[in-house]
Amino acid sequence: MPILKNLGVADTKVPRAGTLPLRSSRNPFEEVPGLEEEEVGELGTLPNGTSCRRRATLEKLAGLAPFRLGWTPGRRAGSPGDGQPRSFLGRVLTPGIRRSSADFGLLARLQGTRAQGDEEAAGEAARRLAFLRLGRGPKPRRASLAERVVPAGEAAPEPPPKVPEPPKMKEPLSVLEILSLIQQRELARADEHILELEAEELASSGGSGAPGPPGPEGTDGGRRARDVALLYEALQRELWALVRETLAGPGPGAGAGAGAVAQLGQVLLQEEAADGRRGPGAARKLRARWAEAVGRAARERLEAAAPGAPGGLAGQLEALRARLLEDMGVVRGRLAPAYPAGLGAFGVYLRSYHGALAEWLGAAARRRLPLTDRYALLHWHNQVYPREVLGLVDLVALENGELGPLLSPGTLRGLEDECVTDVKAQTRAALLRVLQENEEHWGNREDRPSSLAQDVCELLEEHTERAPRISQEFGERMAHCCLGGLAEFLQSFQQRVERFHENPGVRELLPDTYISRTISLVNCGPPLRALAERLARVGPPESEPAREAAASALDRVTRLCHRVLADLLFQELQPYFNKLMRRKWLNSPEALDGIVGTLGAQALALRRMQDEPYQALVAELHRRALVEYVRPLLRGRLRCRSARTRSRVAGRLREDAAQLQRLFRRLESQASWLDAVVPHLAEVLQLEDTPSIQVEVGVLVRDYPDIRRKHVAALLDIRGLHNTAARQEILAVARDLELSEGGALSPPRDRAFFSDISVPRPPFCLGLPLFLGRLPLSRVARPGLACLPRLGPLSPSRPPTQR
């Protein structure tokens, strides 16, 4: 036989057919008559020490009898027993005995060196066995027990029921066979055999429940411990490789992948149960290592997605979002259902990706990022990830509820501080650059629209609109920062506008474009004012001082430009105002027609102004026009010496007031409080009885609180009222209303009217008894001299006149 030849035994001579009994029950390989002995030197000894002086048989080869099929484990006399080492082939080929990795390695080397000799010996042995079967002939049929006991002609009894055979013992697998199962991804079955092997190792080490350290290399216990360790390493390599592969996508083998994942989960459950038997000191904790492997796989997936994305950090974050959604979709739809429910696989994968993403974002935040990338990182962290990633995930499936933050509060605060600092520096430089570029065009003759306000708003709104989308607190901080920068810019803008209007050469060199340039400067106010108000509303309470500073600067610019435009307009209107309150004015409306026509023509140019400053300018023009109209009246340019003259003057005043009211309504003036001033003055001039005049003066003082008694006295002088008692009664009404209404307080600038009209100092009346002896009667009889101008204080350089 080939195995005997491989063991160094000489070829056994097969007996001839004539010397072998046909019905012998003995083993044909045992000694038979006619076999000749061979020389001792040719046969030698067997591996078990038995002499080979006679022909060798299987039963004389100690330890090789188990090669026969169906052999029941047992020992013959002289075979290795307890305390005797089993031969190599006995260990390898004996059923019920686990083959170790060392045995298989030796067997593989043995078979490799003798492969050719085995093939030759196998053919020769097959021919010899066929010859022996021919010599013995067919096996005769023996009568059964029922045929021998039951007489002929009777029915045979029923056969006894078959007794079920005891279950065959499961043959333990070798180390190489377990390794083959691992490589074939039969992970659950392989883990079961590894646990059995570990149990054998524990039993051999004393049954302490924990695998001890590997023993010496030559002992069985040390070999088993080493085999268990190597198998666990191979098993874990396959498990973690499976974790990485299943995250790559469904692919063509989605079904097979789901089955492998199910086996992975089964292995984790088996090992978790085995950890309970091993004890805390010897637990392998494969479930925790599985979570670590998922984290490593998630980190690799995210790192592979980010670097190749275009568009800087924003593009990388978008690639991370796409990869997260893709992988979590695979986990939700295919991987998590394949795991056992007790493992909480979906939560493990989600936490692993969350942790890997936190590491990536933390590394990005530690780099020196430009302002745009910091904005992108903060917005993605605060808005995109919670809404577009976690918003699509069922957080109820998590074991511990909420996930931790991606970035710590300190890191987020540091990023926000860097953004605020950079915005403050960048906007300050950018705003000053825009102002400088715009100012260079103020002195040009070319009439081009100014884009200063638009440029400033765009610079600041880029930050004030992005910051609130990140968080409300960050939006407040950014609004406060930008409002401070805007207030500082507006103060510089005010100073440059003042220098522009104070330069007399500009007005002379640019007569055509000066008004247009002034209007364009005024038009910068409304959008910048609205921006300041909006930033103040969004910002914290401490933003109020900055808002007030910005509003004050804009108010100064607006008032200055309005005054410049009004001065230019009234310089043109002044010749017409000089013609008012004269005799020609009573007979001809020429002067007022000139005023109305000029104002209407100039209003076309003023319509290019934005609504808010235009309304303020028209109201100022309305107020100033009426002030200039009333001024010559109260300064005594016209005196009424009769009731008829007072009636004519009052009628003319009412007509002019109606015409001016129609003009300013057409110009959309909102200063309707000015419409009644001239009619009230006309009523005071026309009324005859003192009580009616008192009532009208009271209404006048109530509606225009800046009127003073000197204005009322000047009006009484115009109507020719010189009765001292009546004058005192009328002036007393004005005095009482001034005191009751708090007339000492000046009205706001936009409500001031009579305060802009200066009148001569009121005259005083001399008592007749004082001058009867000093003045001629001819002079006293003249009523025009009854009132003399009030004497001023004597100058110290001029001595009093000697009588």
- Say what the pLDDT of residue 31 is: 40
Residue range 750-773, pLDDT digits in tens: 678 898 898 876 554 444 343 334
56: pLDDT strictly greater than 80: no
Helix and strand element counts for the chain (H, E): 32, 2
What separation in angstroms does the CA of 539 have from each of 35, 230, 410, 430, 536? 117, 65, 22, 22, 5
d(CA 783, CA 621): 41
Residue range 198-237, pLDDT digits in tens: 888 878 766 555 555 555 555 666 788 898 999 999 999 9
**Higher pLDDT among residues 612 and 450, named by residue:** 612
**Higher pLDDT among residues 109 and 19, named by residue:** 109
167: pLDDT strictly greater than 80: no
Q: Which residue in this structure is represented by tokens 């499936």?
A: 397
Top mean pLDDT of 37-46, 262-271, 394-403 is at 262-271
**Mean pLDDT (the chain, rounded):** 76
d(CA 593, CA 591): 5
- Say what the pLDDT of residue 126 is: 56
37: pLDDT strictly greater than 50: no
Residue 392 pLDDT class (50, 70, 90 cuts): confident
645: pLDDT strictly greater than 50: yes
What token pair was written down for 333? 């739809």
Percent of the chain with pLDDT over 90: 43
Residue range 677-709, pLDDT digits in tens: 999 999 999 998 899 999 999 899 888 888 888
Q: Which residue in this structure is represented by tokens 């990795």?
A: 101
pLDDT (mean) for 603-631: 91
Residue range 402-426, pLDDT digits in tens: 788 899 999 999 999 999 999 999 9
596: pLDDT strictly greater than 90: yes
Lowest mean pLDDT among 568-572, 668-672, 681-685, 762-766: 762-766
Residue 562 pLDDT class (50, 70, 90 cuts): very high
Sign, Cα dihedral of 730, 731, 732, 733? positive
Angle among Cα 664, 665, 667 to the nearest 5 degrees reads: 60
Residue range 108-162, pLDDT digits in tens: 444 444 445 555 555 565 555 555 455 555 555 555 544 555 555 555 566 667 7
Q: Which residue in this structure is represented by tokens 């969004």?
A: 538
pLDDT (mean) for 622-642: 90
Count of CB atoms situated within 10 Å of the CB of 323: 20
Percent of the chain with pLDDT over 70: 67
448: pLDDT strictly greater than 50: yes
* Three state DSSP letters for 388-427: HHHHHCCHHHCCCCCCCCCCCHHHHHHHHHHHHHHHHHHH
Residue 719 pLDDT class (50, 70, 90 cuts): confident
Residue 12 pLDDT class (50, 70, 90 cuts): very low
pLDDT (mean) for 650-674: 93
pLDDT (mean) for 438-447: 79
- Say what the pLDDT of residue 769 is: 40
pLDDT (mean) for 193-199: 90
